[in-house]
Structure 1
């Protein structure tokens, strides 16, 4: 995929999406770690300026559709850290390898993949099928940091 240096940022803008101005870890961890071309990103929740946008549990006080929007917010927070790790250039992503998605939900909730699809769809929309498609886990859990309804982490390969 040949992209101009600002192609991914332009696609984000065209989709009406924006990265946050800041995204600080909620606890004692690094938001990303790089080893050669491998970039591992810590889990990101649906927060802005250190505050969870809307805490909740999917299936009781939040719908799947609302949770999908929060999955996108998690992904935008993740991309904020990708940009930082890649010296401001989102187009240095060579390949999305893995996306992990966690959905705080009621017991027996079986639609975690539908929630996390929102993040996968945005990645494929930004990076295309060849680069953006990824291996993935999408599971329901009983709780996430700060009462967040969704958390997303990732591993990807970056260009030098």
Structure 2
């Protein structure tokens, strides 16, 4: 069976360097058998590809892709802490925040971008509990932010 890193490569993805914190926090914390990531923005090489509210300046499809990038950044934070993604036993929970225009109700479909990627990388172990929440605004005017809780060896 392929490792999570090999599955990422098959998807054409490379884990980036961990995004430096924007404030007074760390990218991820391990306590016992769990790693909790901080909220990950869809930063690529330190920059947001799109900004604004989903359902206004950002389409739901664009936001779903941005949620996928957030999940990749979360995996980078987890790997930096535990060494290899093969140390992940399962993804326990994902929390997605979607900067939403008034009336936008597609938060679950947007956060599917993160959830589907985790399923592709970890298979059954990537199935998780989840919350998808609409919010007024996110840091840097990002359209989406994702947190991940993983059980690790």
Same fold (TM over 0.5): yes
1:135 to 129, 134, 149: 129
Q: Distance in 1 between matches of 2:102 and 2:39?
A: 22
Matched, 1:150 2:153: no
> For each residue in 1:97-131, what CA deviation from the matched residue of structure 2 results, as whole angstroms up to 9, or x when unmatched?
110000111122110000001110110111012x1
1:39 and 2:35 aligned = yes
Unaligned runs of 5+ in 1: none
Question: Which whole-Å CA distance do the structure 1 matches of 2:4 and 2:78 have between them?
Answer: 12
Secondary structure at the residue paired with 2:29? strand
Deviation at 1:35, TM superposition (A): 0.9
Hey, what does 2:5 align to over in structure 1? 9
> Against the structure 1 CA distance between its residues 32 and 22, is the aligned structure 2 distance closer, same or farther, given a 3 Å change threshold?
closer
1:139 shift after superposition: 1.0
CA deviation after TM superposition for structure 1 residue 23, in Å: 1.3
- Unaligned stretches of 5+ residues in structure 2: none
Report the CA distance between 1:53 and its aligned residue.
2.3
Partner of 1:120: 115
State the SS of the aligned residue for 1:29: coil
Question: RMSD of the TM alignment (CA)?
Answer: 1.2
> TM-score normalised to the size of structure 2?
0.95
Output the TM-score relative to the length of structure 1: 0.91
1:91 lines up with 2:103 in the alignment: no
Which of the numbers 73, 79, 82 marks the counterpart of 2:75?
Answer: 79
Q: Which runs of 4+ in 1 moved over 3 A?
A: none
